Amino acid sequence: MISFVVVEDDTKTQELIKEVLRRTVIKKDKNIKVKYFTKFNKELKNIIEDNSVRKVYIMDIELETKMSGIEIAKLVRKEDWESEIIFITCHDKMFETVHRDVLKVFNFIEKFHDMEKRLEENIELIFQRKFDNKMFKVTNRNVDLQIYYRAITYITRDKEERKIIIHTDKNTFKLNMNLSDVTELLDNRFIQTHRSCITNRQRVHQWNWTKGFYILDSGEKVEYLSKKYKKEVEIND
Amino acid sequence: MIDHIFYYFASCSILSTLTYGFKLITDHKTKIYKLYALCIPFFAIIMTFENYYHLDTLNTITSFCFYFILYFLIYRRNRKETTYYGIVLWSFGLIIDILAMICSKFIPYLSLLMIRSIYTIFLDIILIFILRNKKLHRWFKSLYKKISRVKFPYFRLILLITILCSLGYALYFSVVEKNIVNSNISLYVLLISVLILIIIYINCEYNNYSLKETNDHLIKSNEFYITIVDDYHILKHNIIHQLNGIKSVSNKKSIQLIEDLIKSYNENNKCSHKMQKLPIGISRIVYEKIYDCNEPNLKLGVDNIIETNVFDHLSPRRYNLLCEALGVLLDNALQATLKTKDKIIMIDMRETENSYRIKIINTFSELLDIDKLGTMKYTTKKSGHGIGLFSIIGRKKVKVKTSIINDLFINEIIINKKLD
């Protein structure tokens, strides 16, 4: 289930957002709930704390109350990393860059520059993504590790240290586990492609069975492809 | 007359012994101004004259002063050290004097002063051997280290009060023994000392007052600066807002021009909002670390909602631990984020009823061994690192929570408000 939460204190802008949502969301599915707020209150707090529903927050950064949009986003991200956040703003770019990554903001949309069109496009994109915010979570004595499934490209086994290595778009993590244990923590987009490799097939651009490698959507070439697993890959595809 | 000649030699002996003793006890290895040692016979003459005219109280004071003059002239060590070791050696001199006085009573054949002088010379030789003892040096050194932590004005005050008490004691005995010359001199010295005491007290008070005034002035200036920066941010924000409004009704060329203008407004601020509103002390650490790294592309965001004075809720020891943790984590965050394309650091400060919570969030791009993270000597930097995070993770008073969410490394420092 999905619901939309709009936090905007300017009535004119709120009306514009309402119109956009009517055209895009409610047209698609009448059961989708949309809640409107002008400030942070108890009801909004309860909605944020309810993790059973995935939400799309459309918020103004500068609210005329003590709690700004950024503060509300922080409250959302305290527990919930699966909902999407869109900011309606006239803030400067640097501020955006910082918060975009830190709070995993889907987008910052300028109020005075094609706001309606860009909001529509963003909502379409979110629907296309199907809220793919599933995470791989591991906790040990010192660190909590959480990675989006979609960010994981492949997982290999380090023979020397007997650890697994998780490869993501930007980073690599070593973990004291074995491949069979890690498979239980992943969903069916991850398939075994080699004796010592599990691959996120949604991220594979091209398979080359004859030469034993595949190319990821990022262009990276991975030489962990064995014919032994060809059937399994083709069935899942 | 011969008694006084003996007394002269005894004075020379004790002055020389204690001057040499200063060298031994302080392990003095730098330059010695030996020529000033010629003052010793001269000082001994003054002491003999004082003895000749029965100016015993004055004798005690002058001998005390002579030691210090000699130490300052010959060794030129710092005032605090010279005062400390001077008092130590003067106490040794006093003990020798008392011992010589006691011993002289057992030989009735010779004059009291002569016997006292002979004993003094004999005890001086023994003192040199005692002062050569290394254990004694170490003990005095450790005591000096403890004493040197006392603030100097108060140390001087304590010293002066001690002298005053001694003088009062001497004055009392002079009055009891009806020695008018001694009591008059003691009274003058007492008056002068009281005057000095008052001057020192006024000086201390004045220093405290001027320091308070300076602090108040600095705080006011800082508040004024914060208001100016706030005004600047509001002004900049409003201008951008208005420019965006104009942009919405402009043609393509004007849009490009306005976008360039907005970009130029945003390029010249290195740190984002509220940086200046960080708690005093913590802001200094953040500023130093950020400016030390000298990276123009670093994107730093600071959000602070700590409104109380950190020093009112944290004892100096806890504050120190907080600074240490913050320093280590900021260093790590900077090192890691500078290797990335985005170069983002976010510092998020907040407080609850019982604790302060500081979150440092940074981007990173490297191979991390999750199981080794935070253990001794594990590092992604060059070898020789890997102590920082390990050293703060095990602390009881400061908790550090580490988490990795996708490409963000998040460290949270939690410190309880306590004035222990």
Between A155 and B175, the more confident residue is A155
Give the Cβ contact number of residue B106 at 10 Å: 7
Find the range with the poorest average confidence among B229-238, B299-308, B376-385: B376-385
CB of B50 within 8 A of CB of B59? yes
- Helix, strand, or coil (residue A62): coil
Q: Which of B27-31, B59-63, B325-329, B383-387 shows the lowest per-residue confidence on average (mean pLDDT)? A: B383-387
Structure tokens at A159: 């023979």
pLDDT over 70, % of chain B: 79
Q: Is the Cβ–Cβ distance between A157 and A207 less than 8 Å?
A: no
Q: d(Cα B287, Cα B307) in Å, to the nearest integer?
A: 19
Kindly state the tokens that stand for A128: 């296309």
Residue B144 amino acid letter: Y
Model confidence at B214, pLDDT cuts 50, 70, 90, reads: confident
B121-140 pLDDT, tens digit per residue, is: 888 888 888 888 888 888 88
- Amino acid B235 reads L
ipTM of predicted assembly, 2 dp: 0.75
What is the pLDDT at residue B390? 66
The residues pairing with A34 across neighbouring beta strands, listed in sequence order, are A4
Domain ranges of chain A: 2-129, 135-236
Instruction: Please state the pTM of the whole predicted model.
Output: 0.56
Chain A touched by B348 (CB under 8 Å): yes
Cα angle A146-A149-A150, degrees, rounded to a multiple of 5: 125
Q: Looking at domain B270-416, what is its CATH homologous superfamily?
A: Histidine kinase-like ATPase, C-terminal domain (3.30.565.10)
Is the fold of A2-129 the same as that of A135-236? no
Sequence spans of domains, chain B: 2-149, 270-416
Closest partner residue to A112 (CB to CB) among B245, B273, B404 is B245
Of A70, A143, A168, the CB nearest to B370: A143
Is A2-129 a CATH 3.40.50.2300 domain? yes
Token pair 């709690």 in the structure block, residue = A67
Distance between A230 CA and the closest CA of chain B, angstroms: 30
Chain A residues inside the 8 Å CB shell of B372: 174
Contact (CB<8Å) A112/B248: yes
- Cα–Cα distance between B67 and B353 in angstroms, integer? 59
| Confidence (pLDDT) at B121 | 85
Mean pLDDT in runs of 10 for chain A (237 residues)?
A: 86 88 80 88 88 86 80 83 84 61 79 82 81 80 85 89 88 89 87 91 89 90 88 75
Whether residue B271 is predicted with pLDDT greater than 60 in this model: the reply is no
Residue in chain A lying closest to B261 (CA)? A92
Mutate to test the interface with B, among A64, A112, A177 (most CBs of B within 10 A): A112
CA atoms within 13 A on the CB side of B310: 24
Selected residue with higher pLDDT from B72 and B280:
B72
pLDDT of residue B272: 47
- pLDDT band of residue B155 (cuts 50, 70, 90) is low
* Other CB atoms within 10 A of residue B150 CB: 12
Fold held by A135-236:
OB fold (Dihydrolipoamide Acetyltransferase, E2P) (2.40.50)
Nearest Cα to A123, choosing from A52, A51, A22?
A22
- CB nearest A146 (choices: B248, B393, B404): B404
